[in-house]
């Protein structure tokens, strides 16, 4: 069963939470070298 159509009781996720939408998720935060570098700095700055 696809995550977007996973049923909860008699409702589907997108029916219960329409603000989440049903479109594809952006992948920029997973593949961006700039975002990776900012996260790395923020997470490991103290180490």
Domain count across the chain: 1
| Per-residue pLDDT at 27 | 95
What's the whole-number mean pLDDT along residues 5-34?
82
| Per-residue pLDDT at 20 | 86
What's the whole-number mean pLDDT along residues 21-38?
93
**Structure tokens, 42:** 């923020």
Residue 29 makes CB contacts below 8 A (sequence gap 6+) with: 35
Mean pLDDT of the chain: 81
Task: Provide the 10 A C-beta neighbour count for residue 4.
Answer: 13
Q: Which domain holds residue 34?
A: 3-44
């Amino acid at each position: 069963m696809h995550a977007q159509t996973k049923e909860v009781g008699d409702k589907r996720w997108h029916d219960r939470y329409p603000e989440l939408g049903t479109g594809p998720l952006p992948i920029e935060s997973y593949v961006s070298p700039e975002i990776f570098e900012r996260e790395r700095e923020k997470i490991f700055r103290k180490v």
